[in-house]
Amino acid sequence: MPSLKALKNRIASVKSTKKITKAKQMVAAAKLRRAEERARESRPYTERMEGVLANLAASAKDNPNAPALLRGTGADKTHLLIVATADKGLCGGFNSSIVRLARERIVKLQGEGKTVKIITVGRKGNDQLKRLYGELIVWKTNFVEIRQIGFKEAQEIASKVLSMFDAGEFDVATLFYGRFKSVVSQVPTAQQIIPAVAPEGVETPDLKGAVYDYEPEEDAILKALLPRYAAVQVFRALLENVASEQAASMSAMDNATRNAGDMIDKLTLQYNRARQAQITKELIEIISGAEAL
């Protein structure tokens, strides 16, 4: 049985941990509100762009002169996985769930004889993937020193991906991130961005029977739209990740604070029992000594 001093030190240590987790929970809650607003504000623009893309792609997908970003390379041999996670931990299973989804895709693709390349966005994803698939990582980046992620960072990632596509380094690119649904629900998501395809469930604009003439032609619009579409999807994924990270962190720190409180109660009870036992023992020794005299 541990000594009274050891129990006292343990209680003090757990109390210090509880203060840290409580502070972290409050910080995450404060950051979550703004992060959630940014994620939600980005969705209407992205969804509208997806609808426009779906409308244009419907008429251009069979066109041999359509942009390569839409029709692809004609092959399905090399896949690029862009795995976006957080730079920090203490957010429950948020990072692990995204990495797990990416690992499942890697195993599936390699089982089909495909070549896999990985780009990691975020330090935690890179740390987990490099253990088993370090040789597949071709580029990595993080935002440790950036206070707020903006479109500039997304554009840099998209530019890297597009330059690799232009160089013929892959055929299909898929983006992995955590989609924010609520404080207690963040959904690991895989979305193909090259060749560009509108996600399932996207509604095309209702033309109500009208016929639109495009100026310039659809192909010219797509050539300008598709690179921006890739950057917008990356930006949306980053914003969703930030909101999901803060929500997961708040939930994880709330659970940690509760667990610390329970542990303090148990240790305090154990300490009181040990102290009572020691006092009882000392009293018995004093009484026994007095009786002996």
Tell me the C-alpha distance between 221 and 206, whole Å. Answer: 19
Strand-pair partners of 78: 115
Tell me the C-alpha distance between 247 and 52, whole Å. Answer: 31
- Catalytically annotated residue among 7, 70, 91, 109: 91
Q: Could you give the maximum distance between any two Cα atoms of the chain, in Å?
A: 114
122 conformational bin, left if phi > 0, alpha if psi -120 to 50, beta if neither? left
Catalytic residue check, 125: no
- Residue keyed to tokens 């006292």: 8
171-191: b or e for each residue (b if 16 or more CB lie within 10 Å)?
bbbbbbbbbbeebeebebbbb
Tell me the C-alpha distance between 57 and 221, whole Å. Answer: 11
81 conformational bin, left if phi > 0, alpha if psi -120 to 50, beta if neither? beta
59-85: b or e for each residue (b if 16 or more CB lie within 10 Å)?
ebeeeeebbebbbbeeeeebbbbbbbb
- Is there a contact between 81 and 105 (Cβ–Cβ < 8 Å)? yes
C-alpha distance across the termini of the chain, in Å: 33
274 Cβ neighbours under 8 A, 6+ residues apart = 1, 2, 3, 4, 7
92 conformational bin, left if phi > 0, alpha if psi -120 to 50, beta if neither? left
What are the catalytic residues?
91
